[in-house]
Amino acid sequence: MLDGLMAQVERIVILTGAGISAESGIDTFRDAGGLWEQHRVEDVATPEGFARNPDLVLAFYDMRRAALADVAPNPAHRALARLEREFPGEVLLVTQNVDDLHERGGSANVLHMHGALKSALCTACETRSPWLESLGARPPCPVCQAPSLRPDVVWFGEMPYEMARIYRALESCDLFVSIGTSGAVYPAAGFVAEARSNGARCLELNLEPSEGSRLFHETRLGPASVVVPAWVEEVLSRAED
Ligand code: BJW
């Protein structure tokens, strides 16, 4: 699909999901052995679950935040950073992931639509603060001092971050690429239809076809650490033509 196309592509929007971080050692959600087999989604990823049992939810996210110290970006994260640096047009990376592997891999233009493990949200004053420590001991909010911090992540029923900016980018991109996401969760699962209806070419890179696979012009299957660097190499070599 890239033949004769890259010369015209000026704006790329890339959506990533848990699959891009799987080979770094971070569990996905819906694969065999994934997080939703280990924990009930209603208990740990909804505002109602947090209201019922905050200790459980804070411990779940404390454990995942601490685990970031033991993982590193893989070749897929690094390849997307290379694309951002070397592609002559615009590259916007929208991630559903709450890990920081894109940033540690070298990407700068990243929107975390489902929040971030290394951030805390105060339910009293609504400030988002960078956060590296445990939340389980109910530390005070650095701004208003209320002991009301929660993980700064987007749970089911909550509005994802940066939606206006993302939809603006989907309106004007020439190429939309989805990497390592099952396409099971909205609004991210609807981005391909949005981009396609605005005229973008749509490419999926994943281990297996996602739920919305038929909406993509092309699907390339394989581990992200292999298919993403190969695709980036192809884009950059064709952009030079
Ligand atoms: C590899 C690989 C390798 C593995 N290489 N690939 C009915 C219809 C439509 C919508 C709804 C509905 N009922 C309710 C809704 C809305 C709801 C929703 O979508 N529910 C669905 C269950 C249907 N959505 C919401 O509530 C969202 N908010 C919302 O809609 O607000 C209203 C709104 C209206 C209009 C506009 C905008 C908004 C909020 C969703 C919040 C999701 N939160 C979570 C938790 C975040 C915090 C945390 O990390 O704990 O986000 S849930 C979880 O799923 C997490 C992920 O970001 C998200 C997506 O998962 P992802 O990344 O796709 O992972 P997996 O595991 O599903 O897939 C991994 C993929 O990788 C697989 O395909 C593998 O094959 C692949 N893979 N190894 C390449 N090595």
Atom number of ligand 1 nearest to Cα 17: 62
Is 221 part of a structural domain of the chain? Answer: yes
Is 1 part of a structural domain of the chain? Answer: no
159-to-51, 156, 190 alpha-carbon distances in Å: 18, 8, 14
Query: What's the structural domain count of the chain?
Result: 2
- Regarding whether 195 and 85 lie in a shared domain, the answer is yes
* Non-local CB neighbours of 137 within 8 Å, separated by 6+ positions: none
5 Cα–ligand 1 center, Å: 30
| Active-site residue flag, 114 | yes
Span 162-216, pLDDT tens digits: 999 999 999 999 999 999 999 999 999 999 999 999 999 999 999 999 999 999 9
- Predicted pLDDT of residue 240: 77
Is 30 part of a structural domain of the chain? Answer: no
Pairing of strands 175-179, 128-130: unpaired
Report which protein residue has its CA nearest ligand 1's atom 10.
186
Q: Which residue has the tokens 């396609």?
A: 196
- Regarding whether 82 and 48 lie in a shared domain, the answer is no
User: Which residues in the chain belong to E strands, given as ranges?
Assistant: 11-16, 90-95, 110-112, 115-122, 128-130, 149-153, 175-179, 201-206, 218-221
- Regarding whether 181 and 224 lie in a shared domain, the answer is yes
Taken in order 160, 134, 103, 179, the sign of the CA dihedral is: negative
Query: Of the residues 39, 77, 114, 217, which is catalytic?
Result: 114
Indicate whether this model's pTM tops 0.75: yes
Average confidence (pLDDT) over 14-33: 96
Span 210-241, pLDDT tens digits: 999 999 999 999 999 999 999 999 999 988 77
Choose among 119, 105, 123, 240: nearest CA to 179.
Answer: 105
